[in-house]
């Protein structure tokens, strides 16, 4: 006897509708759609041919700073640097309760938007490691309905203060899932290179993933991505490595960018772009023409490189908007990366789904027997429609249980 059957599901790239049979929180089987009821004891939901996807994936967010805009003041210039300054004023007063309350609220927002895999960075240059401990606790508390991955992120740089290297290593000892870095914010180019190598050493020592904030500036001379690529090639660990932001890639001259794309064929590192925030943060020093401040999302995709997407921020000192919707992020990507071809729009949808799962190195992602019954019922029939209408999922199922039902906004013309 099964617990729940989702009838008449449309699965991406499959021509026939299917029924998804769920038992004990796991997908038991997927069968051609059958109109016959399975029996009185089994709950059934008729999806009526709507798109059913695995959960969406948030590849990059900062849960320690979400929902903290205006504390203690709003960012008036809209720049990265004023954001870092405001966060510097706020982080001394962080408490575990404060971090957990805001982070949990953000996770709930995301879950309602069908996002059930979340990679968060957490600032580990705050000496008490309050936010890290809070998020490690929260990761366990929410484990029965969402999956959180924590990156130990040295916001102020590993080598900008003597204690930061030790704090980063301590964060891994306490259980962070991945090592972070911010080489373009280290005091010198040499410190930046050293910080990338240090992240790889720590990842090997503690058997963790790597996700480095890399070249998040408009400076075309910021070239730490080449160091990440080189280390990944030499160590053969590319699939466990992500380079986040890499906005300077959009400013490199084409000859250098072409060389990098060639090197990328020798390793399979992941790129994570955050177009909502970077299109507003970057290019602030430009007059006109004004750069978009994005990495080369389209060209990376065309070259077979795995690209996934993040919100980075929700209502925080860097970005005052944000809803928790990854569909909103993919929608922005279609525009900002000029990916308006039909295949390109589908590719942007993949960037918040299976590509994200690859960046997060998830082993059991997707709609398949034996996997957790984590499913999103969209109110539309295709990924294209999901982006065109900026869809809100009709229903979100986690571990076989419906955890959110949403009424899509309906407009009615009565003229």
Residues found near Fe ion in the complex (CB under 5 A) = 312
Q: For the chain, what is the largest distance between any 2 Cα atoms, rounded to a whole number of angstroms?
A: 69
Residue that is written with structure tokens 């029924």 in the block:
19
Closest approach, Cβ 57 to Fe ion, in A, equals: 16
Helix (H, G, I), strand (E, B) or coil at 32: strand
Closest approach, Cβ 84 to Fe ion, in A, equals: 11
11 versus 315: smaller Cβ distance to Fe ion:
315
Alpha carbon distance 211, 306 (integer Å): 14
Which is nearest to 141 in space by CA: 63, 256, 217, 209? Answer: 63
Helix (H, G, I), strand (E, B) or coil at 135: helix
CB 203 within 8 A of CB 181: no
Helix (H, G, I), strand (E, B) or coil at 18: strand
7 versus 60: smaller Cβ distance to Fe ion:
60
**216 is annotated as an active-site residue:** yes
Alpha carbon distance 190, 205 (integer Å): 22
Closest approach, Cβ 325 to Fe ion, in A, equals: 18
Closest approach, Cβ 65 to Fe ion, in A, equals: 10
Residues 6+ apart with CB under 8 A from 53: 11, 12, 114, 353, 367, 375, 376, 378, 383
Alpha carbon distance 409, 391 (integer Å): 9
122 versus 348: smaller Cβ distance to Fe ion:
122
Alpha carbon distance 123, 84 (integer Å): 11
Closest approach, Cβ 328 to Fe ion, in A, equals: 17
Helix residue spans in 320-367 (DSSP H): 326-336, 342-350, 354-359
26 versus 84: smaller Cβ distance to Fe ion:
84
Which is nearest to 319 in space by CA: 114, 148, 86? Answer: 86
Closest approach, Cβ 313 to Fe ion, in A, equals: 8
215 versus 312: smaller Cβ distance to Fe ion:
312
Name the residue whose CB lies closest to Fe ion.
312
Backbone angles phi, psi at 88, to 5 degrees: -60, -40
Task: Choose the catalytic residue: 97, 216, 220, 231.
Answer: 216
Alpha carbon distance 317, 121 (integer Å): 15
54 versus 283: smaller Cβ distance to Fe ion:
283
- Give the active site residues: 216
């Amino acid at each position: 006897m099964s617990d729940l059957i989702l009838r008449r599901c449309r699965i991406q790239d499959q021509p026939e509708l299917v029924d998804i049979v769920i038992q004990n929180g796991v997908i038991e089987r997927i069968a051609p759609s059958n109109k016959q009821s399975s029996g009185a004891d089994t709950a059934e939901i008729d999806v009526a041919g709507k798109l059913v996807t695995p959960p969406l994936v948030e590849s990059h967010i900062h849960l320690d700073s979400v929902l903290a805009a205006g504390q203690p003041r709003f960012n008036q210039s809209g720049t990265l640097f004023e954001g870092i300054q405001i966060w510097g004023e706020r982080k001394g007063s962080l408490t575990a309760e404060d971090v957990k309350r805001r982070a949990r609220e953000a996770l709930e927002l995301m879950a309602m938007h069908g996002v059930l895999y979340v990679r968060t960075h957490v600032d580990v240059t705050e000496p008490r490691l309050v936010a890290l401990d809070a998020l490690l606790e929260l990761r366990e508390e929410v484990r029965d309905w969402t999956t959180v991955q924590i990156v130990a992120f040295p916001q102020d740089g590993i080598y900008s203060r003597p204690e930061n290297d030790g704090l980063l290593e301590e964060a891994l000892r306490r259980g962070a899932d991945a090592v972070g870095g911010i080489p373009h914010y280290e005091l010198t180019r040499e410190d930046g290179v050293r910080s990338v190598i240090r992240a790889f050493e720590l990842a090997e020592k503690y058997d963790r993933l790597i996700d480095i904030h890399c070249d998040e500036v408009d400076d075309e001379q910021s070239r730490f991505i080449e160091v990440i690529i080189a280390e990944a090639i030499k160590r053969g660990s590319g699939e466990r490595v992500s380079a986040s932001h890499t906005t300077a890639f959009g400013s490199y001259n084409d000859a250098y960018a072409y060389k990098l794309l060639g090197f990328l064929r020798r390793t399979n590192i992941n790129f994570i772009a955050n177009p909502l925030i970077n299109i507003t943060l970057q290019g602030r020093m430009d007059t006109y023409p004004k750069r978009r401040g994005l990495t080369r999302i389209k060209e990376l995709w065309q070259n077979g490189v795995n690209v996934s997407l993040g919100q980075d921020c929700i209502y925080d000192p860097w970005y005052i908007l944000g809803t928790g919707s990854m569909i909103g992020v993919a929608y922005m990507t279609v525009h900002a990366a000029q990916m308006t071809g039909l295949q390109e729009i589908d590719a942007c949808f993949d960037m918040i789904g299976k590509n994200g799962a690859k960046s997060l190195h998830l082993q059991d992602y997707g709609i398949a027997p034996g996997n957790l019954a984590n499913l999103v019922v969209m109110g539309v029939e295709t990924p294209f429609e999901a982006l065109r209408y900026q869809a809100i999922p009709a229903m979100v199922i986690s571990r076989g249980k419906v955890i959110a039902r949403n009424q899509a906004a309906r407009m009615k013309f009565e003229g």
